[in-house]
Amino acid sequence: MINCKLNVAVIGGGGREHAVVKKLKCCAGLASLTAIPGNGGIARDVECVDIDSLDVSSVVRYCRDAKIDYVVVTPDDPLALGMVDSLGEAGIRAFGPVKAAAQLESSKIFAKNLMKKYGIPTADYETFTDSASALKFVRESFASGKEALVVKADGLALGKGVTVCMSREEAEAAVCIAMDEKRFGKSGERIVIEEYLTGPEVSVLSFCDGNTIVPMVSSMDHKRALDNDEGPNTGGMGCIAPNPFYTPEIAEICMESIFIPTIEALKKEAAPFKGCLYFGLMLTDSGPKVIEYNCRFGDPEAQVVLPLLESDLLSLMLACTDGSLTPEMVRFRDGAAACVVVASGGYPGEYKKCCPIGGIVSAESTGSVQVYCAGVKKDGDALVTSGGRVLCVSAVAASLEQALKTAYRGVEKIRFENMHFRTDIGKRALCAF
C-alpha 197/C-alpha 147 separation (Å) is 11
Selected from 113, 131, 211, 233, the binder of ligand AMP by CB under 6 A is: 233
298 binds ligand GLY (CB under 6 A): yes
Of 57, 64, 72, 120, nearest in space to 92 by CA: 64
DSSP 189-238: SSEEEEE---S-EEEEEEEEESS-EEE---BEE--EEEGGGEEEE-S-SE
Site residues for ligand GLY, 164-223, by CB under 6 A, read 221
Distance in Å, CB of 223 to ligand AMP, minimum: 5
In whole angstroms, what separates CA 321 from the centre of its chain?
Answer: 20
Q: For ligand GLY, which is the closer residue by CB, 188 or 359?
A: 188
Selected from 94, 197, 263, 281, the binder of ligand AMP by CB under 6 A is: 197
Q: For ligand AMP, which is the closer residue by CB, 164 or 260?
A: 164
51 binds, among ligand AMP, ligand GLY, none (CB under 5 to 8 A by kind): none
Distance in Å, CB of 292 to ligand GLY, minimum: 8
Surface-to-core class of residue 78, CB atoms within 10 Å of its CB (0-12 exposed, 13-18 middle, 19+ buried): buried
194 binds ligand AMP (CB under 6 A): yes
Radius of gyration of the chain (CA): 21
196 binds ligand AMP (CB under 6 A): yes
236 binds, among ligand GLY, ligand AMP, none (CB under 5 to 8 A by kind): ligand GLY
Selected from 206, 218, 294, 303, the binder of ligand GLY by CB under 6 A is: 294
280 binds ligand AMP (CB under 6 A): yes
Give yes or no for a contact between 291 and 280, defined as CB atoms under 8 angstroms apart: yes
223 binds ligand AMP (CB under 6 A): yes
Stretch that binds ligand AMP, among 112-120, 158-166, 235-243, 387-395 (CB under 6 A): 158-166
C-alpha 233/C-alpha 228 separation (Å) is 13
Q: For ligand AMP, which is the closer residue by CB, 147 or 181?
A: 147
60 binds, among ligand AMP, ligand GLY, none (CB under 5 to 8 A by kind): none
C-alpha torsion angle, residues 427, 23, 203, 258 (rounded to 10): -150
Q: For ligand GLY, which is the closer residue by CB, 175 or 220?
A: 220
DSSP 147-163: --EEEEESS--TT--EE
238 binds ligand AMP (CB under 6 A): no
Q: For ligand AMP, which is the closer residue by CB, 282 or 313?
A: 282
Give yes or no for a contact between 408 and 430, defined as CB atoms under 8 angstroms apart: no
Q: For ligand AMP, which is the closer residue by CB, 162 or 376?
A: 162
Q: What angle do CA 178, 179, 180 make, to 5 degrees?
A: 110
In Å, what is the CA distance from 245 to each residue of 147, 158, 223?
26, 28, 17
Q: For ligand GLY, which is the closer residue by CB, 236 or 426?
A: 236
299 binds ligand GLY (CB under 6 A): yes
234 binds ligand GLY (CB under 6 A): no
Of 405, 407, 400, nearest in space to 430 by CA: 400
Q: In a 3-state reduction of DSSP, which class is residue 271?
A: coil
Q: In a 3-state reduction of DSSP, which class is residue 371?
A: strand
For binding to ligand GLY (CB under 6 A), which residues are involved? 221, 236, 294, 298-299, 301
For binding to ligand AMP (CB under 6 A), which residues are involved? 123, 150, 159, 162, 164, 194-197, 201, 223, 233, 280, 291-292
